[in-house]
Amino acid sequence: MAIYETKQARPAPSGTKGLVHWLKENLFSDIISSILTILSFILLYITVPPLLDWMIFDATWSGTKEEITKDGARWIFIYEKFNQFIYGFYPEEQYWRPNLVLAIFILYTIGFRNINNTLARAFIIISFPIISVVLLYGGFGLEIIPTTKWGGLLLTIVVAAVGIIVSFPIGIVFALGRQSNMPIIRTISVMYIEFIRGVPLITLLFMSSVILPLFFPENMDFDKLLRALIGITLFQAAYIAEVIRGGLQAIPKGQYEAADSIGLNYWQTMGLIILPQALKISIPNIVGSFISLFKDTTLVLIIGLFDVLAMVTLTSTDPNWLGFETEGYVFVTFIYWVICFSMSKYAKSIEEKFNTDHK
């Protein structure tokens, strides 16, 4: 005979489940909350429907300029100018070249993930920049396309990619320099980093576009794009250095001591023990820094390069298409937003993947 009788669990009190409960808990928990909820709905009501009308329901999607009858967005402008937004003034019959670079990039990325051979990986890393430069600029039998013709999203990506790739090793060197126990090396690194981080990017771009040519012999002709790239790279290297320094500081002292005790020298310690760990810790912040750089590439328009944002102003001054800035800006906003948002989501996902302490 049982000592006790099991009773049926009582059903949950009414009103702790279901939609009504959820609404009460999350939207109308008290008076202030209810007022805020109602205000939010009013806000959504006055902003979202007109926006949707403008962007989708009243919008003109296709046809010619003369067929615009509605008040909504005139996306035919984007359709008409799409190639300029993407390629700038790159000759139309040569579009296959940037496209091929993109295709190679995708192929290489897939390859890089699946190939574990160090030599093959090194080949991929070294060959990609060379192939890209040759394809985009020309030479070896290809028609030369001067950088003044590069523009649009193509230019934006070139500036961002070069900034990211070139600044990375420089940033590592300065991060190590700042953590070094050689006073002169440390001072040089600190001065560089603090100087670059203390001034706005735009002044660095001005410096590289106006002053830099004065620093070199007169016969050395600097391409406008190259000057912008130098400014962007100097800028990004300082930020990357600080991000990596954060990672280096997080490495416990015991790691250095262990490396010392097995007789590794400085470069072995750094290359095999410290940097791999520091970089792993810093990945989310490095991606964050890349996102900032990608957004900051818009600044090149101030020194007269035609990136995707500058294309808005340029295309809307076309006498046949006057006054289409709004559509242009919305389109470019969309491009930036999608790229930056996916990068930041990606950063968050790696952060979770690398989070090895189980909370």
In angstroms, what is the minimal distance from the CB of 145 to other proteins?
A: 26
- Contact, 247 vs 279, CB < 8 A? yes
φ, ψ for residue 52, nearest 5 deg: -65, -40
How far is it, in rounded angstroms, from Cα 72 to Cα 50? 10
In angstroms, what is the minimal distance from the CB of 62 to other proteins?
A: 24
Return residues touching other proteins (CB under 8 A): 25-27, 29, 33, 36-37, 40-41, 43-44, 179-185, 188, 195, 197-203, 206-207, 210-211, 213-218, 253, 256-257, 260, 266, 274, 291, 295-296, 298-299, 301-302, 309, 312-313, 325-326, 329, 332-333, 336-337, 340-341, 344
Amino acid at 143: E
Kindly state the tokens that stand for 113. 């993930």
Instruction: Kindly report the length of the chain.
Output: 359
In angstroms, what is the minimal distance from the CB of 294 to other proteins?
A: 8
- Contact, 137 vs 147, CB < 8 A? yes
Strand partners, 307: 152
In angstroms, what is the minimal distance from the CB of 3 to other proteins?
A: 37
User: Is 181 or 320 the residue whose CB approaches other proteins more closely?
Assistant: 181
User: Is 96 or 266 the residue whose CB approaches other proteins more closely?
Assistant: 266
In angstroms, what is the minimal distance from the CB of 292 to other proteins?
A: 10
Residue 10 DSSP label: P
How far is it, in rounded angstroms, from Cα 313 to Cα 64? 21
In angstroms, what is the minimal distance from the CB of 197 to other proteins?
A: 7
In angstroms, what is the minimal distance from the CB of 74 to other proteins?
A: 14
User: Is 135 or 327 the residue whose CB approaches other proteins more closely?
Assistant: 327
Residues in Cβ contact with 38 at an 8 Å cutoff, skipping those fewer than 6 apart = none
Residue 181 DSSP label: S
User: Is 103 or 250 the residue whose CB approaches other proteins more closely?
Assistant: 250
User: Is 73 or 136 the residue whose CB approaches other proteins more closely?
Assistant: 73
In 109-268, at which residue ranges do the beta strands (DSSP E only) sit? none
How far is it, in rounded angstroms, from Cα 131 to Cα 66? 44
Q: Say how many C-beta atoms besides its own lie within 10 A of residue 256's C-beta.
A: 15
User: Is 13 or 198 the residue whose CB approaches other proteins more closely?
Assistant: 198
User: Is 99 or 342 the residue whose CB approaches other proteins more closely?
Assistant: 342
User: Is 55 or 115 the residue whose CB approaches other proteins more closely?
Assistant: 55
- Contact, 293 vs 236, CB < 8 A? yes
- Contact, 87 vs 145, CB < 8 A? no
Residue 211 DSSP label: I
- Contact, 307 vs 301, CB < 8 A? yes
In angstroms, what is the minimal distance from the CB of 315 to other proteins?
A: 13
Kindly state the tokens that stand for 260. 């010392």
How far is it, in rounded angstroms, from Cα 99 to Cα 310? 22
